[in-house]
Amino acid sequence: MRVLKFGWEFPPSKNGGLGVACFGLTRELLQNGVEVIFVLPKTQETRGNARFIFADEERLLKVLHTDVTPGPYQQSDSTVDVIVGYNEDGTPIIKSRTIIEEVHRFAHQASIIAREESFDVIHAHDWTSYLAGVAAKIVSGKKLVLHVHATSFDQAAGQNVDLSIYKIEKEAFAMADKVVTVSGYTKNIIVHKHQVPADKVEVVHNGCDSFEPQKHPPALAELKRQGKKIVLYHGRISIQKGVDYFVRAARKVVDNDPNVIFVVSGWGDMKSQVIDLVGAMGLSKHVLFAGALWEEDRDRMYQAADLVVMPSVSEPFGLVPLEALQHGTPSVITQQSGVAEVLTHTLKVDFWDVDEMANKILSSLRYPAIRSQMVTEGRQQLEKMSWKLAAEKVKRLYHNLLQYVTT
């Protein structure tokens, strides 16, 4: 079986959980005997053994991206600089395009690629690749699977959705033969908000790697030496992620225990707003902004933290608590997350209840036995949440679709 996949990012590109999920699923599908042709919108370094096609290749369209990688969760009118040609002296001609323009360009190139390649089924990840998947289906007649990693409602953290993205989602879901969501939480959104029939949607929870991570020299060593407790937020700083609720809970925690330090690791369009909130709440000495941490720096921070908090307003899944568990660190997560469906040995709270969030943070920090139990039992659950199991479900889904083509 050969699958033509479309995605917006792939490791080692560092934009978030979308690339991590695409990598984990692709790696395990290959291990399970599925050939994967993975199409990306721009030329980039990649990992793994899939065959990659880059949609900015000159044979397709004489447009090359710059080194700027458009993030998967930007609004449709966000812009990215692209190289559209070169002057006689070889200097690039750069123009700005909106993400939505790039999404449509990706779809145009996808139709060309689908004519040139041989494959059995199409699988497109996230809204930025849905139109590419639809275009490939139209020219090839092959079955289409759309994989929902986030919706416009998650990104807006409410009802004020980006209508351009919502339109793409709704029309693409109607064209898909099967829609995969990373949680029941997300399935509920697309069934009720996008009117997708429930029997068309299959839940495949994200997975994680089960290997024992490498131990690194400790981060924040001086603070740890002073006996400070470290509470970590790691992720995008956006309205969807609830970092402002994290800061408000921090104020209540510090009022009860001034020995706690909060660390914000990430980037995003709300960074300035959150920094201002920290100042306004008098928390400048208790909240550290670490920037966007990746690879070893991220792992060192996981290992240094006493507790990780995922305060998301709307989280389709949420890989951070699983990553933290791998490094021996427990989490407090919100009920408004997909990972809450599969990770039972953790503390859960509604995102808006900052009093209860603060209480759970304080309880975890005061009672090491609670943290120890969450890690021990949580790690046992990790063994049942592998990318291998997720890939097996996806492969079965492919076979179910193809049997109606071949019989």
State the Cα–Cα distance between residues 23 and 180, nearest whole angstrom: 16
State the Cα–Cα distance between residues 10 and 29, nearest whole angstrom: 15
Average pLDDT over residues 57-69: 44
Average pLDDT over residues 156-161: 82
Domain 2-207+386-406 identical in fold to domain 221-382: yes
Quick one: tokens of 32? 């399970």
Task: Of 157, 356, 344, give the one whose Cα is nearest residue 243.
Answer: 157
Task: Of 244, 242, 245, 289, give the one whose Cα is nearest residue 267.
Answer: 289
Task: Of 170, 123, 116, give the one whose Cα is nearest residue 142.
Answer: 123
State the Cα–Cα distance between residues 69 and 8, nearest whole angstrom: 9
Does the CA dihedral 338-341-344-350 come out positive or negative? positive
Whether 129 shows a pLDDT value over 50: the answer reads yes
Task: Report the C-alpha dihedral over residues 32, 7, 14, 342, rounded to 10 degrees.
Answer: -60
- The CATH number that domain 221-382 falls under is 3.40.50.2000
Name the residue with higher pLDDT: 56 or 159.
56
How distant, in Å, are the alpha carbons of 32, 34, 303, 313 from that of 391?
Answer: 8, 10, 29, 28
Average pLDDT over residues 223-249: 97
Name the residue with higher pLDDT: 318 or 93.
318
Average pLDDT over residues 379-397: 94
Q: How far is CA 251 from the centre of its chain?
A: 28
Whether 108 shows a pLDDT value over 80: the answer reads yes
Q: Is the pTM of this model over 0.95?
A: no
pLDDT at 98 (0 to 100): 86
pLDDT at 63 (0 to 100): 38
Q: Please say whether the structural domain 2-207+386-406 has been given the CATH code 3.40.50.2000.
A: yes
Name the residue with higher pLDDT: 69 or 237.
237
Average pLDDT over residues 48-66: 68
Share of the chain above pLDDT 90, in %: 83
pLDDT at 211 (0 to 100): 79
How distant, in Å, are the alpha carbons of 38, 254, 311 from that of 251?
Answer: 46, 5, 15
Question: What b/e string do you get for 104-120 counting C-beta neighbours within 10 Å, with b at 16 or more?
Answer: bbbbebbbbbbeeeebb
pLDDT in tens, 337-365: 999 999 998 999 999 999 999 999 999 99
How distant, in Å, are the alpha carbons of 88, 92, 181, 308 from that of 349?
Answer: 60, 51, 23, 13
Residues 6+ apart with CB under 8 A from 272: none
Average pLDDT over residues 280-297: 96
State the Cα–Cα distance between residues 281 and 283, nearest whole angstrom: 6
Task: Of 251, 221, 242, 217, give the one whose Cα is nearest residue 355.
Answer: 251
pLDDT at 56 (0 to 100): 86
pLDDT at 61 (0 to 100): 42
For the chain, the structural domain boundaries read 2-207+386-406, 221-382
